[in-house]
Each structure stands twice: as structure tokens, then as C-alpha cells.
């Protein structure tokens, strides 16, 4: 017999069809389910990888990725966040005195003096 998706029990019976797929009902937890998961396609993993690569290069927005891959921008965002959760946080050295960020220079630990507009 088919194992239940929720409790893992083998006490399930056929319970009709839904969208041309056999539906089962678990007699232990009363869950209705369909065997397998047809939502996942093999080409989705390739699309996710391409999405992460293009976004990480800084060459694509969520909207552009959605148009290229044929999905919504919010799904592209969720794929990026999912990939980001799998990557560990980078270790930053304590000896860094300056860093380049967004084509601007930021000097760490140095405060600029404010000029009084009346003295100019």
C-alpha cells in the first residue's frame, strides 16, 4: 500500500481521482493525498541556478529575471533568498581600513569635519 505523507503509515485506501491522479486517504490521520509530487520539474533547478548566477553578477533585476525565465518577480526573489540561506556568512578580516562599495569610497574609523556654512 502507499505510505501516508503526514504520518508515514501504510494503512491507506484509494479515495477517487483529482486532476486525473489517484487520490488516497490515510485511515490513521485521515489525510487525503496524491502519491508523488508532480509540482517539481527537473528544469526548475537549472532555472534557479541561472537566476542566482545572473542576479549575483549584478546584471539582472527580479523583473528582468522573471521575464527571461517566464515566472513572476516575486518567485525570483524567493529563489534568491532560498539560495542566500544556503550560503554561510563571509568572514571579514579585522585589518580592513577601507572598502569599495557601490563605486564610492568609505573610510572606516575616520570622521570628516563639518564645515560651518557661515564661515565660508
- On whether both 29 and 14 belong to a single domain, the answer is yes
Q: In what order do the strands lie in the sheet with 21-26?
A: 12-18, 21-26, 32-34
Domain of 69 in residue numbering reads as 42-86
Residue 27 has what pLDDT?
A: 92
Residue 96's pLDDT is 78
Model confidence band, residue 119 (pLDDT cutoffs 50, 70, 90): low
CB 9 within 8 A of CB 30: no
Query: What pTM does this model have?
Result: 0.50
Interstrand relation of 104-107 and 98-101 (parallel, antiparallel or unpaired): antiparallel
Whether 23 and 51 share a structural domain: no
What confidence score (pLDDT) does residue 5 get?
86
Per-residue pLDDT tens for 4-30? 888 888 899 999 998 888 999 999 999
* Confidence check: pLDDT of 105 > 60: no
C-alpha cell at 101: 562599495
pLDDT digits (tens, 9 = 90+) for 36-91: 777 778 889 999 999 999 999 987 899 999 999 999 999 999 999 999 999 888 88
Task: Pinpoint the alpha helices (H) of the chain.
Answer: 42-56, 62-69, 73-86
Sequence-distant contacts of 57-63: CB under 8 A, at least 24 apart:
none
- The total number of structural domains that make up the chain: 2
pLDDT score at 93 = 82
The answer to whether position 118 is within a domain reads no
C-alpha grid cell for residue 59?
546584471
State whether 19 and 47 are in the same domain.
Answer: no
* Cell numbers placing 90: 563571509
Q: Coil, helix or strand for 43?
A: helix
C-alpha cell read off for 19: 486532476
Does residue 55 form part of some domain?
Answer: yes
Say whether both 31 and 48 belong to one domain: no
Amino acid at each position: 500500500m502507499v505510505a501516508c505523507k503526514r504520518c508515514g503509515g501504510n494503512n491507506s485506501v484509494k479515495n477517487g481521482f483529482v486532476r486525473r491522479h489517484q487520490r488516497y486517504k490515510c485511515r490513521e490521520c485521515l489525510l487525503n493525498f496524491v502519491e508523488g509530487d508532480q509540482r517539481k520539474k527537473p528544469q526548475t533547478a537549472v532555472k534557479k541556478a541561472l537566476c542566482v548566477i545572473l542576479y549575483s553578477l549584478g546584471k539582472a533585476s527580479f523583473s528582468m529575471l522573471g521575464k527571461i525565465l517566464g515566472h513572476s518577480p516575486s518567485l525570483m526573489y524567493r529563489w534568491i533568498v532560498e539560495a542566500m540561506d544556503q550560503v554561510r556568512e563571509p568572514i571579514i578580516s579585522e585589518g580592513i581600513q577601507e572598502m569599495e562599495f557601490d563605486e564610492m569610497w568609505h573610510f572606516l574609523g575616520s570622521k570628516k569635519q563639518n564645515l560651518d556654512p557661515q564661515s565660508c
